[in-house]
Amino acid sequence: MNKHIVLLVGGVSREREVSQISGESVRNALLSLGYRVTVVDPSENLASELIKLRPDIVFNCLHGTFGEGGSIPGLLELLRIPYTHSGVTASAIAMDKILTKKMAQTCDINTPKYVKIEKSALFTMLEKGEDPMPKPYVIKAVQQGSSIGIYLVIDENSDKPKKAEWTFGEQILVEEYIPGQELSVAVLNDKALGVLELRPKTNFYDYTAKYSDGVTEHVHPAEIPQEVYLEAMKRAEEMHKALGCRTVSRSDFRYNNIGSADGLFFLEINTHPGFTNLSIVPDIASRRGISFEQIIEQLLKDAKMRNNAVKIAKYTYLDTDVHYGKQISSLLQPAREKPFKKIIRVYILFLLGVAAIFYILTKLCTNEVDQFVDKLINKTVISELNICGNIQVSKEEIINTLDLSLPLEVSYINASHIKEELLKNPLIKDVEVKINLPNILSLLVTERQPFALWFDQKQFHLIDEEGFIVKACVEFQEKENKYIIAAGTDSNNQLQNLLDELKGYSISKKLFAVQLISNRRWNILLKNGLIVKLPENNVKEALVALDLVLENYSPSKPFNIIDLRLAPGKVYAVF
């Protein structure tokens, strides 16, 4: 039977309309994937309603304070129902802009200067014509999304909030305004997908700019220096992991165009990014070849894999009419275990106890007793380092990076720090850190493999299949080169997609260099000097026609250029 998904949509926050638009897109995707969907607009009876519906998973498509601030995940944890998106802690911190800023500061991530001020104090200052900080600055509600409750104060003529109209809480955030570019980074499964630049036609990226078609231009990849691009991706991943976000998040930044990553400022992170047709995360994902349905499937997959998720079928439902707000535990009672299963469980525990006693007696009655006692005494001291999986990076280089002095007590081993330091080496893709008692620290290194040469219009760089720069600024020597050359903005990130598309066609074995044109289509230079211009659309049809020409037609003199753009299935050659 198809999985039953309850889709939470609407809610009571100011972002109700956004939730409804996102919910419609998610509902259509769930139905197309074959799930049974029940749409629920939460009320005060949500707990009892969920108990009656008995869903396999709850898809949380709510936005705003009630939906994404941790309340819904908290309720679902109590009801033992698996749910999508981040958990209670990550949701609560991310919804609070001040707590998020403090988290960023602990991660050494640059964020604009700010002050937290009481509502009464701020409006007293504004009424006197005083400023809480030097202009320009931004006044923000501490716990709102979708740019609700935000005022940009540039000069004396700027609109400021009025006390009678302020209904966004007693604490207010006043933040330094960073002029420049508005950037957003989508993170999926702990990995940043890309950086998108937002160019609103209004003066500010407000609610209207976010949700009105044609008001904001999306530019991907963002037109910023590569150093800043990579740093934005890195910081988004760090915040995603630091808060403990699950599956998907979106981090927002401002960049002041000073030419380096010092001008990049983290603003906030969203654990429930929108799924409307204008939303940023689906846009970035689609440009990386990830469909909207794939994002939905990943959210459901992660929900099912939650370690603390207990299938609702394990519980006996007692009172389905109890209203939300009563003791949740009174709604549920673990089903009684059958006597036969209980006997088997006790018997297994008895056998395990006998086996443990036998093992200890054996150890104490053999010549290994001294070694056994020594292991127990010394098990907290690491005296040996075992490194495997490294080929390009030497063991000495790894040891020098970590600056470890063995022997060392286990309490001084910080696995996260070890991984973080080693990942600074561009040749290292991942590191698994294990402590194998009694005394071995093991590092399993996964290296990035050089895959192609990328020309960024200035220099050549060695990249891996994901487009990550393995070695920067390499010298190009044509005779010794064994890599495909990629040129054009973002060609490093899209090269693998092109090669996958060319698989099975004769052209794939003759590649010398490729060029991404205007981030839309490719020109290909073959090893024999022939230039092939691929179309923007109908690429497979063009490749079939090209293979037929190359196999069956032998011109009196060689082609210089083959143009496949002019008409579907037609090949135009220039001699």
In this predicted structure, the answer to whether residue 231 has a pLDDT above a threshold of 50 is yes
pLDDT in tens, 493-509: 999 999 988 988 888 88
- 237: closest CA among 65, 97, 420? 420
pTM of the model: 0.54
Can you tell me the mean pLDDT for 110-127?
88
Q: What integer pLDDT is reported at residue 514 of this predicted model?
A: 93
Q: Scan for tokens 């005060």, then name that residue.
A: 44
- 192: closest CA among 244, 242, 249, 246? 249
- Assign 255 a pLDDT band (cuts: 50, 70, 90): very high
CB 31 within 8 A of CB 25: no
Can you tell me the mean pLDDT for 330-355?
58
- Name which residue leads in pLDDT, 385 or 409: 385
Q: What is d(CA 254, CA 256) in angstroms, rounded to the nearest whole number?
A: 7
Q: What integer pLDDT is reported at residue 188 of this predicted model?
A: 95
Q: Give 511-568 as a DSSP string.
A: EEEEEEETTTEEEEEETTS-EEE--SS-HHHHHHHHHHHHHH---SS--SEEE-SSST
pLDDT in tens, 268-310: 999 999 898 788 999 999 998 999 999 999 999 999 886 444 4
Q: Which two tokens stand for residue 419?
A: 């991984």
Can you tell me the mean pLDDT for 161-184?
87
CB 41 within 8 A of CB 66: no
Beta strands in 232-275 (DSSP E): 248-255, 264-270
Least confident of 31-45, 213-227, 331-345, 499-513: 331-345
Which residues lie below 8 Å from residue 89, measured CB to CB, with a gap of 6+?
A: 70, 243, 244
Q: What integer pLDDT is reported at residue 575 of this predicted model?
A: 64
In this predicted structure, the answer to whether residue 318 has a pLDDT above a threshold of 70 is no
CB atoms within 10 A of CB 208: 14
- Name which residue leads in pLDDT, 322 or 25: 25
- 454: closest CA among 466, 445, 444, 442? 466
Element (H, E) at 47: helix 46-53
Q: What is d(CA 284, CA 431) in angstroms, rounded to the nearest whole number?
A: 27
Can you tell me the mean pLDDT for 377-383?
61
Q: What is d(CA 523, CA 482) in angstroms, rounded to the nearest whole number?
A: 20
Can you tell me the mean pLDDT for 32-50?
92
